[in-house]
Amino acid sequence: MENATKILVVEDNIRMLKEVASLLASAGYNVRESRTGNECLRMIAGDKPDIVLLDVYLPDTLGYDVCRQIKSTPGLEDVCVIYLSSAPATDEMKMTGFDVGADDYIIRPVSDKELLARIRVMERIHITEKKLRESEERYRIAIEYSNDGVAIIKNDQYLYANQRFVKMFGFAGRDEVAGRHVSLVAHPDDSEKMAEVMGDWKRSLREPQLYEFKGVRKDGTILYVEASITHMTYDGELVILALLRDVTERKEAEETIRQLAYYDVLTGLPNRILLHDRLTIALAQAQRTGRKLAVMMLDLDRFKEVNDTLGHAVGDLLLKAVANRLTAILRKNDTVSRLGGDEFIVVVSEVGNKDDLTTLARKILDTVRTPFEIEGHRIAVGSSIGIALCPDDGADIETLMQHADMAMYGAKQSGRNQYRLFTEDLP
């Protein structure tokens, strides 16, 4: 527990406080408890947590104010704040929470599995952000001690390159660089851009600015380079001075953060945030072209039995296998997303007619119904699908999702392992 992630749970309802604290402790977290906003702030001042699970309504203040104070205190900006509230929340309330610095907003009731999963996602994001900040600090120190790549350029040619530059791009020595064109280390995609920036006299006379290039080492390995261009006197002549640093690690960290923020950790499918963005774009295109769009809500049948009999590890592998099968049978311009648990959403753009849609629904049913071989187990599950069409059944995301969900439950009530189109007379 010494190196475990520290979580402070702030909740005035003692029963809920103990339930959440017990769940987190059983998951291996170092948990502390607080029942008021002021007590929370005192505890944080004495021992900084990694994550704060914060109720919105506290006896002495609002969680929003507590979050604002945490995020505005030097040294606490990187504390992850997650609202965990039993009170209903409007979009405006959620936006207020995010505006003061919250990282997530969870509304009870929420399953233990989802709560832990969302905490783990935010935990990974903040660990990656910490690594990114540490990486940037290393780069800053390197600049201060002249440990970045340094090149002197005249007439679009390298006059000099320091050892760091040579090593950065995988050359054996400076003689492989001197006299060569500035695009020597540029990837073909950025060759013209690098030559323009690093050979531009007017640019070098301005206040130094940072430019980013895709570079290439001698062995062909791609790297990302951040360059600052200025000027200096060298051997009595005015030349261009380029300071270069390798930012490949930062780029990879940024990509990792993007992956964690927009994709489901388990299946790699788009999560709710990315689904919303893609569905927004698809709806705009459908309105512009006059073509129909479909939202299909899919829920696995008998998935709970798999978890109960074979364990959650096998259940997770089953979800990944289902995701792979769905991705394989859909078109590239369609989207499949995991909402959580065993619920998936399929967005079908440019629907020709309902026959095409029902054909796809039957194909999905057959695909999911085909038994899976996982960890030596032959697993047979089915699926229930609800379908809502735009604009027939709704023209906005919320309405389409709600109607698809209603149709899906209608399919389950009708015997499962089937699809159902939304109609106004659904029970």
Q: Looking at the 3D structure of the chain, how many domains does it have?
A: 3
Residue 384 has pLDDT above 70, yes or no: yes
- Least confident among 99-108, 250-259, 305-314, 373-382: 250-259
Over residues 184-197, the mean pLDDT reads 86
pLDDT in tens, 4-60: 889 999 999 999 999 999 999 999 999 999 999 999 999 999 899 999 999 999 999
E strand spans, 352-403: 372-374, 377-379, 382-390
Class of residue 110 by CB neighbours under 10 A (exposed 0-12, middle 13-18, buried 19+): middle
Residue 145 is predicted with a pLDDT of 57
What is the number of other CB atoms lying within 10 angstroms of the CB of residue 21? 19
Instruction: Look up tokens 């940024």; give the residue.
Output: 254
In percent, the amount of the chain with pLDDT more than 90 equals 45
Q: In what helix (H) or strand (E) does residue 129 lie, and over which residues does it extend?
A: helix 112-144
Give the pLDDT confidence score for residue 1 in this predicted structure. Answer: 55
CATH number at residue 267: 3.30.70.270
- At 427 the pLDDT is 63
CB contact burial 371-403 (16+ within 10 A = b; e otherwise):
ebebeeeebebbbbbbbbbbeebbeebeebbbb
Q: Does residue 155 lie in a domain region? A: yes
299 & 229 share domain: no
Would you say 222 and 214 are in contact if contact means Cβ atoms under 8 Å apart? yes
Q: Are residues 177 and 279 in the same domain?
A: no
Whether residue 255 lies inside any domain: the answer is no
pLDDT at residue number 340: 84
pTM summary value: 0.47
- Residue 319, token pair as written in the block: 């979800």
Domain containing residue 188: CATH number: 3.30.450.20
Whether residues 272 and 246 share a domain: the answer is no
The pLDDT of residue 17: 92
Distance, in Å, from the CA atom of 370 to the CA atom of 381, rounded to the nearest integer, reads: 8
- Are residue 95 and residue 229 in the same domain, yes or no? no
Q: Are residues 79 and 12 in the same domain?
A: yes
Residues 365 and 341 in one domain: yes
Higher pLDDT, 409 or 89: 409
**Paired sense of beta strands 419-421 and 382-390, if any:** parallel
Compare 249 and 206 and report the one with higher pLDDT.
249
User: Is the pLDDT assigned to residue 387 strictly greater than 50?
Assistant: yes
359 & 306 share domain: yes
Q: Residue 130 domain-assigned?
A: no
Tell me: do 385 and 340 sit in the same domain. yes
CB of 226 within 8 A of CB of 245? yes
**What secondary structure letter does DSSP report for 371?**
P
Residues 286 and 228 in one domain: no
Does residue 370 have a pLDDT over 90?
yes
Q: How confident is the model over 80-120, as pLDDT tens digits?
A: 999 998 888 788 888 988 898 888 899 888 899 999 998 89
Least confidently predicted of 1-15, 170-184, 250-264? 250-264
237 and 268 fall within a common domain: no
Average pLDDT, the chain: 87
| Mean pLDDT, rounded, for 58-71 | 92
| Backbone dihedral region for residue 350 (phi beyond 0: left; psi -120 to 50: alpha; all else: beta) | left
277 occurs within a structural domain: yes
- Give the pair of three-digit tokens for residue 403: 């109607």
Please check whether residue 116 lies inside any domain of the structure.
yes
Q: Are residues 279 and 376 in the same domain?
A: yes
pLDDT in tens, 130-147: 887 777 666 445 434 556
Packing angle between helix 248-262 and helix 112-144, nearest 10 degrees? 160
Q: Would you say residue 357 has pLDDT above 50?
A: yes
User: What are the angstrom distances between the C-alpha of 329 and each of 5, 265, 303, 357, 366?
Assistant: 40, 22, 21, 13, 11
Structural domain containing residue 384: 263-421
Question: Is residue 287's pLDDT more than 60?
Answer: yes
CA–CA separation, 55 and 9 (whole Å): 8
Whichever domain contains 75, its CATH number is: 3.40.50.2300
Average pLDDT over residues 305-325: 93
- pLDDT, one tens digit per residue, over 236-249 is 788 888 888 888 88
393, 297 in Cβ contact below 8 A? Answer: no
Specify whether the CB–CB gap between 295 and 401 falls below 8 A: yes
| Listed residue (378, 380, 358, 376) closest to 367, CA to CA | 380
